[in-house]
Amino acid sequence: MKDYILLLPILFIFHDMEEIIGFGYFFRNNKQLFERFPKITAAYKDFSAEGFALAVYEEFIPFFGISLLAFFFPCKVLNALWLGLMISLTAHFLVHIGQSIYIRKYIPSLITSLICLPPSVIIIIKSLSIINIDLVTVILIPVAIFGMIINLKFAHSLMHKYGKKLSGKK
């Protein structure tokens, strides 16, 4: 298990670099997407590169923190939380692939999602074969996934608030 743990924050930051680098240009040059796909683009209203970078940094903290704790203090609880985060990140890749298919266009995040998805699935499968699946694990994996969903909403709210502040909107 220890062989895979630090791959989580590496996969996360590798993927999110594509988003940080590409989303500003993408949104400036694809404004029609906000009208055509309001459900998908709502999360990127008031987008600014700085606000997005802040959201990515905030999201990185639990991925990196849990990974470090699980690496240096391996135990059932931390391994289960880590696995929940790994599953969350893998689902995130699938969402981006689905978004790109739905709008029939490249979006910044597609390339790294396609690159990161196969190793992520392999890591999850290998981790599931290593860890002892018991009640604690079965409870903590969904807790970690749910926690990351809440954290993503919080990160998006930070991004919106910071984006509005930078643009002078209230």
Mean pLDDT calculated for residue range 26-40: 84
pLDDT attached to residue 66: 98
Q: How many CA atoms lie within 13 A of 132 on its CB side?
A: 7
pLDDT above 70 for 170: no
Q: How confident is the model at residue 11 (pLDDT cuts 50, 70, 90)?
A: very high
Contacts of residue 68, defined as CB under 8 A and 6 or more positions apart, other chains included, come to none
Average pLDDT of the chain?
92
**Domain count along the chain:** 1
Burial (0-12, 13-18, 19+ Cβ within 10 Å), 22 = middle
Q: What is the pTM of this model?
A: 0.91
Distances (CA, A) of 86 to 4, 58, 66, 161: 10, 17, 11, 28
Which range of residues forms the domain containing residue 104? 2-167
Is 124 in contact with 83 (CB distance < 8 Å)? yes
- Per-residue pLDDT reduced to its tens digit, 98-124: 999 998 999 999 999 999 999 999 999
